[in-house]
Each structure stands twice: as structure tokens, then as C-alpha cells.
Amino acid sequence: MSAVGSLVFCTECGNLLDISTGNTKNILICDCCGAENKDNASKTIVTKSNPSSFPSALRAKRSIFQKVERDDLENTQKAQETCTACGRTEVTFVSVQLRSADEGSTIFYTCDCGNKWNTNN
């Protein structure tokens, strides 16, 4: 019997054997060739890795919280929008792509009076 991680294979034909019980006196019989293999589960090494050890852009997109870079928020422009709090007609805005690429961006407006609001484009 040879083991790769938690998978146990027959030494004769390489077929995947039934799950190891951890008892070294147990014999695992291959369904393919009928060979008897000693259960060497005690020699099997099991490793686990933390998902955060391998960062992934796809995993980040599945997260409830989306990361927005500070550089994206510092690209502000002026817009001719009316502030709902003070009535000022010129406010600053920034457009950020928070949703998937085939959907519109989110526009964050900020008025000099401190009022902030957003719209989905």
C-alpha cells in the first residue's frame, strides 16, 4: 500500500483503496486486483493549510466584504449635482467598480457641507 496525503493506493495495480481505519493490523483488499495491502495509516501524514495562506482574487470576490483601494477613492471629480442637505449645486464624486464587471459602477458623492450619498450607475 502507498499513501499520498489521505488517499491510499494498492501497491500492485495502483487502484484507490477503501478508507484507512488507522489500525496497522487491518488488511485492505483491492477491489480491482484482489491484492491484500497492510493498512499503514499510522505512516500517513495529513496536512492542512489555511485558505488565507494562498490569497486568491476569486476567493476575495466571494467575500461579503469587498476591498476598495484608497487610490480609487482619491480620484475625485466635480459634478453638477444638487446636494439634498444644503442645496449646493456642485459636489465632488468618485466612481468605484464594486460589483461585477458587467454591472454599473457605484458613484459616491460628497458635498462641502459634509453630506455624503451614493448611487448605483
**Rounded Cα–Cα distance for residues 61 and 107 (Å):** 20
pLDDT at position 39: 75
Binding site, annotated residues for Zn(2+):
10, 13, 30, 33, 83, 86, 111, 113
pLDDT at position 110: 92
Q: Give the pLDDT means over successive 10-residue stretches in the chain (121 positions).
A: 66 82 76 82 67 74 69 76 91 86 89 92 80
Q: Does the pTM exceed 0.75?
A: no
pLDDT at position 89: 92
Q: What is the edge-to-edge ordering of all strands in the sheet holding 116-120?
A: 77-79, 91-96, 106-110, 116-120
Distances (CA, A) of 79 to 20, 69, 71, 108, 117: 67, 22, 19, 11, 13
Closest CA to 121 of 100, 106, 111: 106
Binding site, annotated residues:
10, 13, 30, 33, 83, 86, 111, 113
